[in-house]
Structure formats: C-alpha cells, structure tokens
C-alpha cells in the first residue's frame, strides 16, 4: 500500500469504539435474530403440522410428517440458504455490500409472512407452498451471512473487530430463544382459549381446528424483527474499505467514514489513490478467486474455513433437529398419545427453550467477551475438542443416561455440547472468513465457506433424521427405515467434531491484525 497503508484504512483500524459500532451491531444482528428464529422454529412446529394434516383415523398414535415431507420441510430452507450465500456473497463483492443488503431483509419479511399463510387446504398443497416460500426465505437468510459479517468486519477497528462480529452472530442465540418463547406464549394462549383432551381420550378433539393457526402465527412472527430494522439498514452507507479498495474512491470512503464514525480526514489526506507514485501503489495487482495467486495465498485458508464450517454444522444442526426425540427418550416429553396437539408443542418448545437459555445463549456471549483476548484459533480448537469430549460422554454410557433418574445429567452434558459449540466453532467459523480474505473477494469467500456449512446442515437435517432411528424396525418411527440409533449417531458426530479440531490448524489467527495484513493486499503478486 501507499506509504504502507492508506490513511482511510489506518483511521478505521485505530478508530475508538463509538456509538455507531453498536448501532451497526443491532442493525446487522437483528437480521441474524430473524435468521435463527426462522430456521429453528420449524423444528418446533413439525410435530403440530403432522397432527393437523397427517393424522390417520383409527391410528393408536397421532399423525406425524412422512419422512420425505419432514426432510423437505426441515431441509428446504437450508438449500435456499446455501444458494443465497453463494449468490449474495458474489453479488456483495460485485456491486457493493450496501446495494444488496436491503434486498435480503425484504425477502425475509415477505417470505416469513408467506410461509405462515401457506395457501391451500390439502396436506399436499399446504406443504408444497410452505416449502416453496421457505426456500426463498432461506435464500434471503443466506445473503445475510456474508453481507452482515463483511460489513461488520469492515466497519470495526482491529482491536475489537472479533467481538463486534461475534455480537452480530450472537443475536442468533436470542433468535432461537425467541422461537421457543413465542411458541410457548402462543400455545399457552390457544390452550386456554381452546382446551382439548389427550389423543388417547379423543383422537379427533385432541387437535382443535384452531391448532392450524398456531404454527402459522409462530412462523409469521419471524417477519417482525426484520421489518423493524429495514429502514435503518437501508440508511447504512457503503463500507469505507469496499469504496476505497474495490471501487477505488478514497475521497468518498473518507466522507462516508467521517459521517458515521465521526473521524475527520481531509480530501488531500484520503485520496492516496491519485497521489501515489509509480512505485508507491496503493494495492498489489488484483487477482481472481480461481487464480494461482489466490491458491498460493489463501488456498489452504479456504480449505480450512469451508471444511471446519461443514463439520461443525453436521454436528450442530443434526442435534437441533432430533433433540425433541432425545427429550422424549429421556422422559422430558411425555408420549404423544398422552397429550393434546397443543400440549405436545408446548412441551417441545419449553425443553428447547431451556437448552437455549442454559447452553446456547451463554456460549455466544462468552465468545463476544473473550475472542479478542484469547483469539479465534484457540476458541475454535477448544470448542471442537470439548464437543468431541461431551458427545463421547453422552454416547459411551448412553444406556446409563437414559435410565430413570439419570436424565438431568444427560441434559447437562447435552447443553454443554451446545455451550462449547457456541463458545467455539459455531461463532468462529462465521467470524474468521470475514477477516482473512481480500476486500474484493471477502464476501464471496465468506459465502463459499458459509455454503459449505449449509451442506453440513443439509447432511444433518436429512441424514440424521434417518440415522438416528432405532436399529430395531419395530421401534423406528412410522415411515422410517431402521437407522443406527441415537447412541451411534452421537459417536458419528463426535468423529465430525474431532476432524474439525484437526482441520482448525489450517485457519490463521486474525487477532489484533488489520484486514489488510490478513488478506496480504499490500503484497505484490508473484510472477
């Protein structure tokens, strides 16, 4: 860079923490609040949807979603998210972060409402429209990953950058918590207004017609936080780093930065681009994603960020998707036939909210507090290692934990796996890709890393619906073939976590370094 570093970027790195930094966290973070709410609340309501649309008359057990429908409802948003991460990641580098930031939020608002409406009266029509809108909801959610991470990293100073990006991601914890809280509140309200007997007592009356409104309201509520932040997101200026490095307009970058961060830089100081001499280039010659220069500088980094996110999400999302079945196995959720439809949703929501409150949310904020002290590498390696240890602690004595009287110990260990996922790789795999790649490829590479993670989420949501089934065909859920059981599934997830620990050694440590140091944009390309 000219005179080692452009003044506009140096000013960003050394800027004091200001009010706008916290404003940006809230604006970007509320998008992740919505993301987590929308992606996780579907796991709360699938049991209710099964009762409403797939109960077979005369069956001794309430209706459940057929395996193919369940896999589609749980997984289709992940497919949309993966597509959105790749598309908006590329678009964010091509036309600018701000230009497409509002588009993703608008998609979330429209599709959250449309998911709840799910037109039609037959199970096929309702599920088809639900899957259609959840795909496009996921498409908008996917765009929020690379754009929010990149925007926050480019606004932040190098001393507290990790905490700011982590705080944006930590809003997911509140989104998960809100999903459970809304489900509990809406269900309690409808239970009071429309009391119903258990399924065993009266199969038809156990699912009142009004239950069809409950899951729709829960899904549509996801539009509210997104709508509240839409205006402020549209008012955010383009990041100074994109404007200075990619758009090559240092004067505009300085003006935008001065406006939001209250840092004054004169035009003469800022316009390094035009004043640089022939041997004092602001940046090395740009190189593309598929160039040999990118492979030389960042090839192993991209392998590290994609593979660790992939392995993390296999473990993380599979646990979320079958945790209600684990709660049933250990007795936290009574047998379905002993409850009404709304009672079952209430119990599932309460158990999932408790896990979020005790394990998920604290883990996120431990990361926020310590990431710029301990560093990304140590937190990620520790998180993967502890996840491996706790999953093995669950799997090896699994029969002990499921025996009567030992359920609390099982839940504590299960919650600790979530704690160390969030005080670990679930946060760091999101943060690091926004810090180590060049500005003109930063959003794209983050999108690729995040999309790799969603491949893992798809493996978890589709594969473990089948793998976690009992090896005994008589004990497998209706419509599912025998699987390897919950115990062996936990062994498989422990293996994924251990491999993630080993691949973490491919990821560099960005703590305390500027984005330009990490991306090596001030180095000349090798001939």
Please report the pLDDT score of residue 2 as a whole number. 46
A 10 A CB-CB count for 45 gives 23
CB distance 416 to 386 below 8 Å = yes
pLDDT of residue 215: 93
pLDDT averaged over 10-residue windows placed end to end, the chain, 527 residues = 54 72 84 81 84 88 86 84 96 90 90 88 90 92 93 87 92 86 93 91 90 92 86 84 82 75 55 45 70 92 96 84 59 82 89 78 90 95 96 88 76 84 94 94 96 91 76 74 84 94 96 85 58
* Spatial distance between the Cα atoms of 313 and 319, rounded to a whole number of angstroms: 10
The token pair at 468 is 């976690």
- With tokens 């507290």, the residue in question is 160
Which pLDDT belongs to residue 407? 72
How many CB atoms sit inside 10 A of residue 103's CB?
14
1 Cα distance to chain centroid: 35
CA distance 451 to 124: 29
Q: What's the number of CA atoms in the CB half-sphere (13 Å) around residue 268?
A: 0
Tokens 């959720």, residue? 333
Tell me, what DSSP letter sits at residue 5?
Answer: S
- Residue 277's pLDDT is 44
- DSSP code string of 441-491: THHHHHHHHHHHHHHHHHIIIIIHHHHTS-SSTTTSPTTPPP--HHHHHHH
Q: What is the pTM of this model?
A: 0.88
Helices then strands, each counted (H, E), the chain:
23, 0
Q: Could you give the count of Cα atoms lying within 13 Å of 416 in the half-sphere of its Cβ? A: 17
Structure tokens at 431: 């943060």
CA atoms lying within 13 Å on the CB side of residue 512? 5
* CA atoms lying within 13 Å on the CB side of residue 35: 28
Two tokens at 416? 């600790």
Q: What is the pLDDT of residue 61?
A: 87
Q: Are 27 and 229 in contact (CB under 8 A)?
A: yes
pLDDT of res. 5: 39
Task: Enter the tokens of residue 337.
Answer: 């036939």
* 436 in Cβ contact with 327 (< 8 Å): no
Q: What is the pLDDT of residue 523?
A: 63
Are the CB atoms for 495 and 311 separated by under 8 Å? no
pLDDT (0 to 100) of residue 375: 94
Q: Say which residues have a Cβ less than 8 Å from residue 229's Cβ, sequence separation at least 6.
A: 26, 27, 30, 31, 105
Instruction: List all residues 6 or more positions away from 479 whose beta carbon is below 8 Å from its beta carbon.
Output: 64, 66, 67
In the DSSP assignment, the letter for residue 522 is T
């Amino acid at each position: 860079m000219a005179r080692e570093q452009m003044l506009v970027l140096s000013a960003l790195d050394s800027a004091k923490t200001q009010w706008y930094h916290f404003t940006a966290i809230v604006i970007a973070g509320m998008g992740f609040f919505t993301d987590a709410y929308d992606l996780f609340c579907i796991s709360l309501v699938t049991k209710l949807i099964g009762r409403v649309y797939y109960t077979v008359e005369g069956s001794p057990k309430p209706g459940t979603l057929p395996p193919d429908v369940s896999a589609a409802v749980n997984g289709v948003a992940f497919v949309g998210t993966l597509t959105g991460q790749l598309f908006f990641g590329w678009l964010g580098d091509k036309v600018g972060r701000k230009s497409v930031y509002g588009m993703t939020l608008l998609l979330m608002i429209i599709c959250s409402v449309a998911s709840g409406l799910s037109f039609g009266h037959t199970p096929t029509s309702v599920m088809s429209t639900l899957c259609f809108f959840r795909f496009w909801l996921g498409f908008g959610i996917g765009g929020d990953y690379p754009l929010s991470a990149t925007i926050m990293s480019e606004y932040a100073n190098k001393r507290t950058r990790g905490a700011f990006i982590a705080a944006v991601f930590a809003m997911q914890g509140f989104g998960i918590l809100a999903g459970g809280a809304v489900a509990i509140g809406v269900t309690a309200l409808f239970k009071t207004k429309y009391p119903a007997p258990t399924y065993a007592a009266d199969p038809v009356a156990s699912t009142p017609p009004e239950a069809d409104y409950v899951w729709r309201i829960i899904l549509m509520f996801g539009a509210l936080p997104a709508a509240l932040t839409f205006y402020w997101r549209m008012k955010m200026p383009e990041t100074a780093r994109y404007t200075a490095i990619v758009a090559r307009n240092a004067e505009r970058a300085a003006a935008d930065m001065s406006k939001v961060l209250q840092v004054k830089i004169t035009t003469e100081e800022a316009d390094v681009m035009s004043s640089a001499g022939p041997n004092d280039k602001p940046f090395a010659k740009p190189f593309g994603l598929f160039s040999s220069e990118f492979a030389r500088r960042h090839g192993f980094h991209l392998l590290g960020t994609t593979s660790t996110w992939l392995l993390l999400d296999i473990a993380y999302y599979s646990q979320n998707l079958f945790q209600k079945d684990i709660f049933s196995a250990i007795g936290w959720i009574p047998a379905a036939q002993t409850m009404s439809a709304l009672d079952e949703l209430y119990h599932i929501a309460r158990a999932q909210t408790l896990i979020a409150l005790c394990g998920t949310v604290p883990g996120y904020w431990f990361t926020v507090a310590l990431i710029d002290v301990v560093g990304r590498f140590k937190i990620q390696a520790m998180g993967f290692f502890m996840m491996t240890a706790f999953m093995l602690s669950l799997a090896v004595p699994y029969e002990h934990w499921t025996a009567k009287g030992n359920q609390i110990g099982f839940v504590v260990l299960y919650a600790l796996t979530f704690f160390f996922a969030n005080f670990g790789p679930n946060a760091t795999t999101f943060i690091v890709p926004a810090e180590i790649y060049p500005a003109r490829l930063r959003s794209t590479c983050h999108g690729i890393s995040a999309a790799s993670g969603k491949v893992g989420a798809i493996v978890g949501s589709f594969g473990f619906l089948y793998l976690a089934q009992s090896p005994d065909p008589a004990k497998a859920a209706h419509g599912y073939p025998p699987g390897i059981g919950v115990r062996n599934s936990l062994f498989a997830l422990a293996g994924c976590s251990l491999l993630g620990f080993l691949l973490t050694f491919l990821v560099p440590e960005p703590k305390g370094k500027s984005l330009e140091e990490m991306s090596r944009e001030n180095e000349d390309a090798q001939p």
